[in-house]
Amino acid sequence: MSLMTMRGGIPRVWRGAIDSTGRKRQFSFYCNYLQVRLPGSPSNEPCKMYFTEDDFDNDENYVTIQLSSSDTPYGEFQGPVEISEAWFRCATSGGTSNIELVIYQRRG
């Protein structure tokens, strides 16, 4: 039996633009750690991240990823999660969130 480190795994990177209608991101593997970043840009908007399709459809139970500020200096969410898909939506109507997603592929 071995212990897994907090960010252990093979990193995979995805960048994309998400509008207010939203988008599902399907991974071809299970991840064990996830980082979502909103790079600083004048036209970038906050983003909502959902872990289930039902929550995405009902616009509830989400994590809001804020832009960089004094409260959230890196404009990111990160944490250990074991998922193979996630849903994203721009938090402002008519806006666009440009996100960087780092998915750590679970080994074994």
Question: 17: domain CATH number?
Answer: 2.60.120.10
Assess contact for 86 and 78: CB atoms under 8 A. Answer: no
pLDDT at 17 over 70: yes
Is 52 domain-assigned? yes
**pTM exceeds cut of 0.85:** no
Collapsed DSSP state (helix, strand, coil) of residue 14: strand
Provide the domain limits for residue 92.
Answer: 10-105
Distance, in Å, from the CA atom of 37 to the CA atom of 51, rounded to the nearest integer, reads: 16
Is 2 domain-assigned? no
State the average pLDDT over residues 2-20. Answer: 75
Amino acid at 7: R
Query: What does the angle CA 67 – CA 96 – CA 53 come to, to the nearest 5 degrees?
Result: 95
What's the pLDDT tens digit per position in 54-104? 999 999 999 999 887 666 666 788 999 989 999 999 999 888 999 999 999
Q: How far is CA 94 from the centre of its chain?
A: 19
Of 20-24, 45-49, 64-68, the least confident: 64-68
